[in-house]
Amino acid sequence: MPLRKKLEFEGKDIAEAISKACKTLKVSQENLDIEVLKTGTSGIFGLLKQKARLRVAVKKEYGGKVEEKVQKKPARAKSGKAKTVEKKTVEKKKETPAKEKKKAAASKPAEKAPDVVQESKIDFVVDENLLTDVKSDVGRILELMNYPSEVTVSSDKENVTAQIKGSYVKEIVEQNGKVLDSLQYLLRKIIGKKYSEKAIISLDAGDFRANRIEELKNLGIKLAAEVKQNGKTKSIPSLNPSERRVVHLALQDDKDVRSRSVGEGLFKKVLIYRPGSKGKKGPARRRKSSKKKSSTKTE
């Protein structure tokens, strides 16, 4: 590759792009011709950010020195004696019969496979900068919503929880937590753009999450009792994945009822029904009514 060829490098900022160019071309910054194509932008909340881009080439006065270092020394020609020794060794190898090779291989004791050492699992530790950004981003979003609140962040291995406290908790958990779930979704997107760590981020306000779990458990058990009593299918509408899981787990040991999620998108409803009915009472009734109509026509 000609050293005067111009190459392009990217980085989160100009300094990082220059560092990549120096490492790739193995020269210092003062020996490079650098043309800035894009300075890069940090974006908003880490979204819509752009990388810095440079066009780089090695300076002419330094190019010859690099080429001298890169050139390899020519290998020395082998002497006539060395060639004759190599021929003899090759001829001896050819003379060894295949049977002797097999016997030699069989006589060797079988080597034991080395014991596999299991590496101890290292506990996942969340970056402190990630926790700081979670706290600041949640606080900034709430201020823009005119709901300034106190935010605390804690972590347990890969699980990161941001807790909202203050006088606006009631407004934040409106519509059975849909506002809170939307904020949680937005926060995960913002942090996901900044960090590659697989941290599971949860957002809570007051005691909403714990109270909501108990509420859904009790509601699922109550509706299951009604289904067992009258056989009619019941439903809990507009639940997110974690809420649907709470209902399914609450009823999984009840052999007299079943539960399943129905619908499209993030929010679905949970049907609670008796085994065999599969929550299809409506269509069955329509079929019966259509039969009655057909019979009246024939009469």
CB 169 within 8 A of CB 205: yes
Evaluate if pTM is beyond 0.85: no
Q: How far is Cα 43 from Cα 133, in angstroms, rounded to an integer?
A: 15
Q: How far is Cα 176 from Cα 164, in angstroms, rounded to an integer?
A: 16
Which residue has better confidence, 205 or 53? 205
Q: Considering the chain, tell me which residue range(s) the CATH 3.30.1370.50 domain(s) occupy.
A: 210-279
Pick the CATH number of 7-70 from 3.30.750, 3.30.2010, 3.30.70, 2.60.40: 3.30.70
Band of residue 133 on the pLDDT scale cut at 50, 70, 90: very high
Model confidence at 263: pLDDT above 80: yes
Model confidence at 32: pLDDT above 60: yes
DSSP state of 27: -
Q: How far is Cα 277 from Cα 293, in angstroms, rounded to an integer?
A: 24
Model confidence at 281: pLDDT above 60: no
pLDDT, residue 60, reads: 72
Q: Considering the chain, tell me which residue range(s) the CATH 3.30.300.20 domain(s) occupy.
A: 128-206
Q: Considering the chain, tell me which residue range(s) the CATH 3.30.70 domain(s) occupy.
A: 7-70
In one letter, which amino acid is 287?
R
pLDDT, residue 163, reads: 95
Band of residue 285 on the pLDDT scale cut at 50, 70, 90: very low
- Mind listing the pLDDT tens digit for each residue in 153-193? 998 888 999 999 999 999 999 888 889 999 999 999 999 88
- Mind listing the pLDDT tens digit for each residue in 34-78? 887 877 766 555 555 678 788 888 877 665 455 455 454 454 545
Overall average pLDDT of the 3-8 stretch: 72
Pick the CATH number of 128-206 from 3.40.50.10470, 1.20.1250.20, 3.30.300.20, 3.40.50.620: 3.30.300.20
Q: Which CB contacts under 8 angstroms, 24+ apart, belong to 222-229?
A: 223/272, 224/251, 224/254, 224/256, 224/257, 224/272, 227/257, 227/272, 227/273, 227/274, 228/256, 228/257, 228/274
Q: How far is Cα 131 from Cα 191, in angstroms, rounded to an integer?
A: 10
pLDDT, residue 162, reads: 94
**Considering the chain, what is the average pLDDT of its residues?**
76
Which residue has better confidence, 170 or 96? 170
Model confidence at 110: pLDDT above 50: no
Model confidence at 254: pLDDT above 80: yes
Helix axes 174-194, 128-144, angle to 10 degrees: 130
pLDDT, residue 118, reads: 44
pLDDT, residue 297, reads: 44
The CATH architecture one would assign to domain 210-279 is 2-Layer Sandwich (3.30)
